[in-house]
Amino acid sequence: MSSVMNAQLIDRSVAESYATWFKALSDRTRVQILNLLALATGPMSVGEIVERVGVGQSTVSHHLKLLADVRFVRRERRGTSMLYSINVACVACFPSAADAVMGRPAASV
């Protein structure tokens, strides 16, 4: 007898999106950057993030690109600077993704 509850299996495209999100959060520096941006009172430059996270500029830039690719952060050009902020709408979906993977009802992607 199967112990599977009446939860629906998530389809492959949704599973792929969720896997991309989980992968983006699989690095401690990216988690720190997200936390920093979530706590910030406004957008931050790469230089400001480097000062707070304590890793090199190229490393921070690389992680910000990955986080922007999955839409966890927003990029905004101001003059010659690029500013980064948390994408609250996207990050808010993450707990639902974890629930869906665990077979609990979740909002769709």
The tens digit of pLDDT for each residue in 79-109 reads: 998 999 999 887 667 667 677 667 776 555 4
Cα 8 to Cα 104: distance, rounded to the nearest angstrom: 9
- Please report which helix (H) or strand (E) contains residue 73, including its range: strand 73-78
21: pLDDT strictly greater than 90: no
- Please report which helix (H) or strand (E) contains residue 16, including its range: helix 12-24
Q: What average pLDDT does the chain have?
A: 85
Determine what percent of the chain is predicted with pLDDT higher than 90: 55
- CB distance 75 to 82 below 8 Å: yes
